[in-house]
Amino acid sequence: MSDAAKPSPPAAAAGRSSMKKELPEHFKAYRHVWVFIEYERGNIHPVSLELLGEGRKLADKLDVELAGVVIGAEAEALHEAALSCFEYGADLVYRVADPILAHYRNEPFTKAMTDLVNTYKPEVLLLGATTLGRDLAGSVATTLLTGLTADCTALAIDDERSLAATRPTFGGSLMCTIHTLNFRPQMATVRPRVMPMPERQAGRIGRIADHSLSMAEEDIVTKVLRFVPDRDSDKAQLAYADIVVAGGLGLRTPENLRLVKELAEVLGGDYGGSRPLVQKGWIEADRQIGQTGKTIRPKLYIAAGISGAVQHRVGVEGADLILAINTDANAPIFDFAHLGIVADAVSLLPALTEAFRQRLSINRAAS
């Protein structure tokens, strides 16, 4: 090990950034920005469209094409998906259609993706940081032996055509910008709702390139026995809700969560909470908002009795309007909320619900 034993860099930042080397010759042919399109059960996951929006900007900056990669069972259905990709900014779609790909499984999807990369050589590859995207990204990056930056919150191209991927570390206390200097493609995942949804450009079109999967069902060990969809009724739509009301420990008792739910209902939104509520079992895990929960981007976010720890903050900063209700005028949430009221949430919430109810029904009657 002695030859490799260089002083261990506690500040990895300084150590690594000085290591810039020339990009190896064989990687210089890598061109274009790709977005993996998560297509399941007839739907494109919105995160893929958000990434097309972001990928478009990167491609324009690099002056290259933006391609979507759609993988699935039926060529017809994938064609539909491809059309959507064009409308959201893709110039080109790589399509891999094979019955083996009916449900997501790591082995065939990794195979399809790595084959495509090795054949068409993209310089940037973006995936959604969903359970599917994270499962796939890790395998693809390891197979290709390239760098992968997870859960990015900002992507940019620097002066040397290199992807600068920014992400939170240490639970959001710090941000770091990561590059993959000497390997291609440069891979990154981005969580749903971190990037804004681009405008749909109806009628915009592009090219479809087909690629076949060189794999047989017998080669694949893992089988999907069943898929049990989440029941829609209790499934949190948090990430994509326009209005979100959330509670924190300031609610004091699990019963008071009702006040949050009622306001959310009157507003036609969804509800969630801070992590301690999940840990205490007051709400389900998929209703947690923040760094280790959901990132949300609603038009209105109402935080009741939430202190606004940095791990919570990173999940809600994309909201258009944040209203904080907290008894402590010095609570950190007031540092990033737009509107704040120093008040007891337990008594204000019902009043707010009632006031909204009246206001909305009056206006509805009027319109």
Ligand X SMILES: Cc1cc2nc3c(=O)[nH]c(=O)nc-3n(C[C@H](O)[C@H](O)[C@H](O)COP(=O)(O)OP(=O)(O)OC[C@H]3O[C@@H](n4cnc5c(N)ncnc54)[C@H](O)[C@@H]3O)c2cc1C
Which residues carry a binding-site annotation for FAD?
Answer: 274-275, 288-292, 305-312, 326
Enumerate the β-bridge partners of residue 303.
246, 324
Helix ranges, 21-159 (H): 46-62, 75-87, 106-120, 131-144
Rank residues 72 and 293 by Cβ distance to ligand X and give the closer one: 293
Q: Look at residue 114 and give the partner it binds from another protein, ligand X, none, a contact being a CB closer than 5 to 8 Å depending on partner kind.
A: none
- CB nearer to another protein: pick between 92 and 132: 132
Identify residue 240 by its one-letter amino acid code: Y
Binding of another protein at residue 337 (CB under 8 A)? yes
Choose which of 199, 217, 328, 335 interacts with another protein (CB under 8 A).
Answer: 335
């801070």: which residue's tokens? 274
Closest to another protein by CB, 43 or 205: 43
Q: x/- binding map, residues 285-324, to another protein, per CB under 8 A?
A: x-----xx------xx---------x--xx-----xxxxx
Using alpha carbons only, give the angle 112, 219, 147 rounded to the nearest 5 degrees.
40
Contact 283, 306 (CB under 8 A): no
- Distance (Å) of CA 150 to CA 51, 139, 179: 14, 13, 12
- Interaction residues for another protein, span 348-367 (CB under 8 A): 348, 350-352, 354-356, 359-360, 363-364, 367
What's the first-to-final CA gap in the chain, in angstroms?
Answer: 76
Q: Which of residues 6-45 bind another protein (CB under 8 A)?
A: 6, 8-9, 11-13, 15-17, 19-20, 38, 40-41, 45
340 binds another protein (CB under 8 A): yes
Distance of alpha carbon 218 from the chain centroid: 33
- 138 contact choice in ligand X, another protein, none (CB below 5 to 8 Å, kind-dependent): another protein
Q: Which amino acid is at 251?
A: L
Cα separation, 321 vs 8, in Å, equals 44
329 binds, among another protein, ligand X, none (CB under 5 to 8 A by kind): another protein
Residues 173-232 that bind another protein (CB under 8 A): 173-183, 221-230
Contacts to another protein from residues 222-251, by CB under 8 A: 222-230, 235, 242-243
Shortest distance in whole angstroms from residue 297 CB to ligand X:
15
Q: What is the DSSP string of 300-350?
A: EEEEES----HHHHHHHTT-SEEEEEES-TT-GGGGT-SEEEES-HHHHHH
CA nearest 190: which of 123, 129, 125?
A: 129
Residue 180 binds which entry of ligand X, another protein, none, with Cβ cut-offs from 5 to 8 Å by kind? Answer: another protein
CA 49 vs. chain centroid, Å, equals: 11
Binding mask of the shown chain, residues 272 to 291, with x at each position contacting another protein by CB under 8 A: -------------x-----x
Question: Binding another protein by CB under 8 A: which of 141, 194, 195, 236?
Answer: 141
Residue 322 tokens read as 């944040």
Interface positions, 87-106, toward another protein (CB under 8 A): 103-106
Residue 276 partner contact from ligand X, another protein, none using kind-dependent CB cut-offs of 5 to 8 Å = ligand X
Rounded Cα distance, 207 and 66, in Å: 11
Tokens coding 42: 């007839």
Taking the mean position of all CA atoms in its chain, how far away is CA 196?
10
290 contact, one of ligand X, another protein, none, CB 5-8 Å limit per kind: ligand X
* CB 307 to another protein: min, Å: 13
183 contact choice in ligand X, another protein, none (CB below 5 to 8 Å, kind-dependent): another protein
Helices 345-366, 257-266: inter-axial angle, 10-degree rounding: 10
Binding site for ligand X (CB under 6 A): 171, 248-250, 274-276, 288-293, 305-307, 309, 311-312, 315, 325-328, 331, 344-346
Give the annotated binding-site residues: 274-275, 288-292, 305-312, 326
Q: Which does 20 bind (CB under 5 to 8 A by kind): another protein, ligand X, none?
A: another protein
Could you tell me the smallest distance in angstroms from the CB atom of residue 328 to ligand X?
A: 3
What six digits make up the tokens of 194? 């971190």
Phi, psi of 125 (to 5 degrees): -130, 120
